[in-house]
Every structure is written in C-alpha cells, then in structure tokens.
Amino acid sequence: MNSVAAIAHPNIALIKYWGKRDEVLHLPMTTSLSLTLREFPTTTKVTVRPDSTTDRVTFAGAPAPAAFAAPVSRFLELVRGRTGDRRYAVVDTVNTVPTGAGLASSAAGFAALALAAATAYGLDLDRAALSRLARRGSGSAARSVFGGFAVWWRGVGAGAAGDLSSFAEPIDAPLLDPALVVALVDTREKAVSSREAMRRTMATSPFYPPWVAESARDLDRMRAALREGDLATVGEIAEANALGMHATMLGARPAVRYFAPGTLRVLDLVLELRAAGVGAWATMDAGPNVKVLCDSRDSAVVAAAVAEVAGGAERIVVTTAGPGAVLSDSGER
C-alpha cells in the first residue's frame, strides 16, 4: 500500500480568473495573479489500494457526497491515464475552508490532491507540470501549488499547446509584506456555481470582452507594482479588477449577483478607511465575502474596523502570505 499526504492552502486572486476558453482542459481566457494564504489548509491523503475495485473518497473520514467524490475520481483517472497504473485509491480530505463560500476551497483541495496523487502513483513532476495537473482539477488550483504571489498564464493556442503553456509560476515581491482580512459575510453554499456563472457571463454579458481586454493591462501594471513594492497600486488594481469582474456578472442575462447587504457594508468601510489614510483595498470572488488587502503593519487596525461592520471578531480571519503545496509526513510510504 502506498499512502501519501499533501497540504495546500487557498489563494485569493488579485487579478481574477473568470471564464474558460477550454472547459475540459480548464484553459482560462485571461492570465490571473494571486496571493496564497497562510490560513485554511487542506490536507489530502491518497492511498493506492491493489485490492479496491473502485475509488473511495472520504471527507474528514466520512463518505464524501457525490458532488465532491466524482470530480476527485475523474482527477485520479487523469493521473492513472498518465502512468498506466490501473489501481484504485482511497482519498481522504480534511478541509478547513468554509466550502463553497468564494474562498477557493477547490484551489487548496486540488493542489493538495495533485501533489498527493502524483506522488502516490509515482509521477515525477516539476512544479510547472504539477501546476498544470492541478489546473485540470480546478483552474485556480494551478496557483495554490506556489506560495506567496503567483501568476497563472492563460497559455497560447488550443489543445495540447494550450495545455502545455498554461501553468502558474511564483512572483518575487521582496519589498511587500501583505495581509488579507477576510470578512465572512455569509458562508452558506452559493446559489450559482462559479462554473455556471462564468459560462453565463461569457455567453451573455456585453461587459465581458472589455473586462478581458482591461485585465491584460491590469496584469502588466500589477507585475510592475509588485516589483517596486508599491502596495497602493497593487490594491487599486486588485479592487478595480474584482469589481469589474462582478460588473460582467451583473451584465449577464439573467444577472449573477453575489453581493449581499453585508458585502456592501464592508466595501463602504474600505472607502472610509482609505479616506482616513489607511491603505486598504477590497477584492471578492464568486461569493459575498470580502477580502481586504492591506500591509501587515496595518492589519490590526483594518481587522478591528472590519470586525465591527462584519458582526464581530468571529466573522473575520486575518491572514498573510502562505506556503505552496508540500508533502506531509502523515502519509506512510
């Protein structure tokens, strides 16, 4: 029996991935850029079982619902297809991210699964190849392979050429020490999945093509700001890029709206903080929760203010840059 465990963390995009140009290969329309978090680790253990006639997927030890188990099993098929090893596996995932709340639980989950499964089935992958594999589970997982800031290239061309050229890489930003204050406005499962919301936006929103064009400019400007250690510019671009993404969704027919009343309270607060001279910028994903980017030195001040409007200290999480996916010694080989 070959048992391997891996740990990965969610990432929050500062330049968003929104829209696929290939739904099977998970090739994105745009290049995105993210920060991997220190909080909310996912640990995934893959045990290859010569005696099993099917994959068995558990969630913190209990049988996982089909909506969780089926994509995991499809992912293992992909790995098995590359090795020729037909043995099935037991996969156990322990997730500390509130699932389905726009906090990228799938990113941490598939980054950990990619590393654990590749290792358990004996695939020897470099980090770029691991990122490409994680991408096949969930697009944003390509970025959680790396710690700190990472850029996930949209890639060029279709099919195999697109697959080969679409992976994430780390970005050095030695002058920055960022923090994110996550406001947990609502952690219930979202009504519209990001997959469906992306599809509908691309198919029906007149605001989608201009956002895609602007995103390429956002990327160039943000990479320069990261190099220069200019957090204010990074934050301004991140906020504009995220609100622009939500604008594309509001323009879809029917509209996809993830804003909740609590979302607007946090967005208002961010404007007030900036007016008062505190560097704080908001970003949001496919859910109502707001992540507020600031310098680590300001995180206590920002966290106290966000907690007040979000309904108390238990509704916020303060996090900083975290590590990439790593093997954990809780597996036995």
Least distance from C-beta 170 to ligand PMV, angstroms?
Answer: 16
Q: Which long-range contacts (CB under 8 A, 24 or more apart) does 298-302 make?
A: 298/179, 299/179, 299/181, 302/179, 302/181, 302/273, 302/278
Evaluate whether 258 touches 286 at the Cβ level (below 8 Å).
yes
Least distance from C-beta 291 to ligand PMV, angstroms?
Answer: 11
The tokens describing 64, both together, are: 């996982």
Least distance from C-beta 283 to ligand PMV, angstroms?
Answer: 9
Is residue 285 a contact residue for ligand PMV (CB under 6 A)? yes
| CB contact burial 98-107 (16+ within 10 A = b; e otherwise) | bebbbbbbbb
Is residue 140 a contact residue for ligand PMV (CB under 6 A)? yes
The one segment of 11-19, 116-124, 158-166, 275-283 that binds ligand PMV by CB under 6 A: 11-19
Q: How far apart are alpha carbons 197 and 111 in whole angstroms?
A: 22
Is residue 32 a contact residue for ligand PMV (CB under 6 A)? yes
Binding test (CB under 6 A) with ligand PMV, winner from 9, 16, 136, 223: 16
Identify the CA nearest to 139 among candidates 286, 35, 28: 28
Query: Whose Cβ is closer to ligand PMV: residue 194's or residue 319's?
Result: 194
Residue 214 CA: distances (Å) to CA of 20, 166, 207, 211: 17, 20, 11, 5
DSSP letter (8 states) at residue 97:
S
Query: Whose Cβ is closer to ligand PMV: residue 111's or residue 305's?
Result: 111
Query: Whose Cβ is closer to ligand PMV: residue 3's or residue 34's?
Result: 34
Binding test (CB under 6 A) with ligand PMV, winner from 130, 134, 202, 286: 286
Binding test (CB under 6 A) with ligand PMV, winner from 2, 106, 201, 263: 106
Binding test (CB under 6 A) with ligand PMV, winner from 119, 138, 215, 283: 138
* Partners of 328 in the β-ladder: 5
Is residue 104 a contact residue for ligand PMV (CB under 6 A)? yes
Least distance from C-beta 264 to ligand PMV, angstroms?
Answer: 19
Identify the CA nearest to 306 among candidates 315, 295, 296, 319: 315
Residues within window 180-199 making contact with ligand PMV, judged by CB under 6 A: 194-195
Identify the CA nearest to 179 among candidates 305, 37, 310, 288: 37
Binding test (CB under 6 A) with ligand PMV, winner from 41, 109, 139, 162: 139
Length of the chain: 333
- Count residues near ligand PMV (CB under 6 A): 14
* Residues at the interface with ligand PMV (CB under 6 A): 13, 16-18, 32, 104, 106, 138-140, 194-195, 285-286
